Chains A and B, each alone.
Chain A
Amino acid sequence: MDDAMNTPLIEASGLTRNYASKPGVVAGVSDLSLRVERGEFVVIQGASGSGKSTLLLLLGALLRAERGTLRIDGVELTRLNAIERAQYRARSVGFVFQLFHLVPYLSVHRNVLSGLPPGVAVEPTEADRWIDTLGLTERRDANPATLSAGERQRVALARALVKRPPLILADEPTGNLDPDNAARVLEHLDHYRRAGGTVVLVTHGSEANRYATQRLRLEAGHWAIPSAFPSFNDSAS
C-alpha cells in the first residue's frame, strides 16, 4: 500500500472562517481541528447556525479559511488559488445538497454527466450505470421539475458519484426526503463508503448515526467537546 493511502484523507488544524450572516451576527467556524481517515463515514451534527455548512464548504474549497491549515488527499487547500480550487473540486469532491440543486434545463442523464469534470474521460455508459443503480432508469430523459424529491436527490447522488471522487460532502441530504427515501440515500452513501470512498455528512437529524464511523457535534462554530480529534465512535452502530 502506498504512503498516500496510509495518510488521513482530511487533516485540519485551527480552521477558522467567520462571516456576517445577519447584521451584527457573526457565524462560521473557529479554530477547528479534524482528522478523517479514508473510508470513514463522518456525521457532523449541530443546530442551525452552528457552522456545519460552513465547515462542509471549507472542505469543498468553496470557502477559503481565514486561518488554519486544511489538507485533503495530500493537497493543502488554503494555498490554492481560485483555478486550482475549481480543479480540486472537479477532481476530488462530490457534493450532495439538501435542496438537490439540479440544473433545471438539463435532463436526468445530462445532470449526471454534468458531474464529470471537463476533459475527464469515462465510459459513456458510466452515467447510465449510476442511473440504473439508483433506480432512475425510467426517468433518464426526464426534466428535474417532473421528479419527486427522492428522485431528485438520487440524481444529485449519481452526479456526485459518477466521477468516483475520494470524498463526498453531503449537506443535509435527507432534509427534504421522507423516511424511505432518506434511508435509500443513506444506504447508497454507505455503499460508496464501503467501496473505499469517504463521506462527510452534516445534518440536524439522527437518521445517519447508524452509518457513522465518526460523529461530531458543532456548537457556535466549535466542537461541542473540545478535543483535537473528537470522536463519538463509541456511539456509532
Chain B
Amino acid sequence: MNFTLQNILREGWHSRLNSALMLVALTGAVTLLTAVQLLTAAAERETRRVVRDMGFNLRILPKDTDPERFFLEGYSENTLPADTVTRLAAGAGTFITFNHLTPVLERRIRVGGHECLLTGLGDTVVGPGEKKQPMGFRITPGTAQVGSILAERLGVTVGGTVEVAGRTLRVERVLVEAGTEEDVRLYTALSDAQTALGLPGRISEIKAIDCLCLTADQDPLPKIREALSQLLPEARVIQMRALADARAKQRQASERVSAFAVPMTLLVAAVWILVLAVLNVRQRRVEIGLWRALGTGSSRIAALFLGKAALLGGLGGALGWAIGTLVALRWGPVLFPVTAASLKMDPALIGPALTWTPLFAAASSFLPAMMAVSQDPAETLRADG
C-alpha cells in the first residue's frame, strides 16, 4: 500500500466521526437518489397507467363525417378502410403525436329486441419498442363483453351467449355499471362486428391517445390536426378536451416532480458534503502545515483529501444503491399499488452510483482540498513571534 492510501485509511479511522458523517452524507444522497429514481419511475408508470385508464382522448374519423350526426349518434356513419390504421402507424412521426391506435367499427343495432351500441375493437398498434397494452379490452373473436344494463335486459351472464346478426357470441364478461352509454354497449372483436354489420374490411374510426400531452392553455389541437393532415388527409380528428387536458396536467405534474426531486436531492447532498469537507480541512490545518513543512508536495496533500472523498464516495455509492433499492422496494408498492409489480431492483443504477458518487464526492472536496494546499503553513505552525 502506498503512502497516500495508508494515510487515508489511518486518518479515516482516526477521524471516525467525520468519516462516518461523510459516509452517511454520501450514502444518504445515493439512497435518496436511488429511491427517488425508482419511485419517480414508479410514479410515472402509475401516472401513465392512471391516465391510460382515463381512456382514449382522440377520435380519428372519416373526413366526410357529419359532425352533427356524429355527436347525436355517438359514432361516424362513414367508414375508412381497416388498413388505415397500419398506414397511419407507418407514417413518419406518427407516434410523436398519436399512440395506442385502435381501429373501431361502431353502429346502433338491435340485439334480442333491445337497441344497443355494437362496438368492434381491433388490435391496438403502439409505438416502436413499446409494450403492447390494450387500452380497452382485448376481445377474442367469437366472444362478447356486455354493458351492465344491456346484460340485465338480455338476461345474460358470463358464459351465456348473445345472438348478433345471426352469429352466436359467448359472453366473456359483463361490464360493471359505468353510468354512461357504456352500459348499453356490446363489445366484440372487430372482425365479428364487420361480419355482423356487413362491412368487411371497414372501420368507422381510429381511437387514439394524444402523445403531445399539452394542456388546454398550450393549445394542442392545431398541432394534432396539422400532424394528422400530413399523415392521413382523408381523416379528421376530434379531441375529447377535458380528458386530454386532465391527462396532460397529470403527466406534466408528474414530470415536474421528477425534475425537481432529483436535482434537489443532488444539491442538498453536495452542500452537505461540501460543509463536511470544509470542516475536515479546518480540523486538519495543522496537519496540512506539517506535511508541507516535511516537504510533502501539494499534489500528495490534495490526494489525501480527494482520495478520502473518493474512497468514501465508492463505499457510499454501493451502500446508498443497496439501501435506496430496499427503501423503494419496501415502500414503493404502498405508494403505487396499481403498478407495484413493476417495481424492481435496477442494476443499471449501480454503475452510475459507483462511478459518479466518488467523482461527485471528490468534486465536492476539491475546493476545500485546494484551500488546504494553498493555506499558509506559517499561520498554522508558528507558535508566536
Chain A residues engaging chain B, CB cutoff 8 angstroms: 46-54, 57, 60, 62-63, 82-83, 86-91, 93, 95, 97-99, 101, 103-106, 110, 114-115, 117-118, 159, 171-172, 175, 202, 218
The one of A98, A105, A117 that contacts B383, using a Cβ cutoff of 8 Å: A98
Pick the residue among A54, A89, A97 that contacts B295 (CB under 8 A). A89
Interface bin, chain B: 20 to 34
User: B residues within 8 A CB of A53?
Assistant: 378, 382-385
From the candidates B10, B286, B295, B378, name the one contacting A87 in the complex (CB within 8 A): B295
Asked if B295 and A86 make an inter-chain contact with CB atoms under 8 angstroms apart, the answer reads: yes
| Closest 9 A/B residue pairs (Cβ) | A90-B295, A105-B14, A52-B385, A89-B295, A98-B383, A53-B382, A53-B385, A48-B384, A105-B10
13 contacts between A and B (CB under 8 A): A49-B385, A52-B385, A60-B293, A86-B297, A86-B298, A87-B295, A89-B295, A93-B295, A95-B293, A99-B286, A101-B287, A104-B287, A105-B15
- What 1/0 flags go to B38-71 for Cβ under 8 Å of A? 0000000000000000000000000000000000
Question: Which chain A residue lies CB-closest to B373?
Answer: A82
Question: Does B295 contact A49, Cβ atoms closer than 8 Å?
Answer: no
Q: A118 touches which one: B286, B300, B376 (CB < 8 A)?
A: B300
Check B297 against A62 for contact (C-beta < 8 Å): no
CB-based contact B382/A46 at 8 Å: no
Is the pair A101, B10 in contact by a Cβ cutoff of 8 Å?
Answer: no
Which residue of B286, B293, B295 has the most chain A CB atoms within 10 A of its CB atom? B295
* Complex contact A88–B294 (CB within 8 A): no
User: Does B377 interact with chain A (Cβ within 8 Å)?
Assistant: yes
Binding site for A on B (CB under 8 A): 3, 7, 10-11, 13-15, 286-287, 289-290, 292-298, 300, 376-378, 381-385
Whether A101 contacts B381 by the Cβ 8 Å rule is yes
What is the distance, in angstroms, from A236's C-beta to the closest C-beta of chain B? 21
Contact A175 B381, beta carbon cutoff 8 Å: no
Contacts of A62 in B (CB 8 A): 292-293, 377-378, 381
* Inter-chain contact B294/A114, CB cutoff 8 Å: yes
Measured between beta carbons, the chain B residues less than 8 angstroms from A89 are 292-295
B377 CB, nearest partner CB in chain A, Å: 5
Given the complex, which residues of B lie within 8 Å of A97, measured CB to CB?
381, 383
Q: Which residues of B contact A90 (CB under 8 A)?
A: 294-296
> Which of A57, A91, A114, A118 makes the CB contact (< 8 A) with B382?
A57
Nearest CB of A to B100, in Å:
63
Chain B residues contacting A95 (CB-CB under 8 Å) are: 293-294, 381
Q: Which chain A residues lie closer than 8 Å to B384 at the CB level?
A: 48-49, 53, 172
What residues of A have a CB within 8 angstroms of the CB of B292 in the complex? 62, 86, 89
Tell me, rounded to whole Å, the shortest Cβ–Cβ distance linking B108 to chain A: 86
Is A106 a contact of B383 with CB atoms below 8 Å?
no
Give the complex CA separation of A82 and B295 in angstroms: 10
Cα distance, A93 to B292, chains bound together (Å):
12
Contacts of B383 in A (CB 8 A): 53, 97-99, 171-172, 175
Residues on A with C-beta less than 8 A from B15 are 105
Q: Which residues of A contact B286 (CB under 8 A)?
A: 99, 101
Q: How far is the CA of A53 from the CA of B384 in the complex (A)?
A: 6
State A175–B294 Cα separation when bound (angstroms).
21
Q: How far is the CA of A89 from the CA of B290 in the complex (A)?
A: 11
Taken together as a complex, chains A and B put the C-alpha atoms of A50 and B290 apart, in Å, by 23
Residues of B within 8 A of A218 (CB): 385
- B residues less than 8 Å from A49 (CB atoms): 384-385
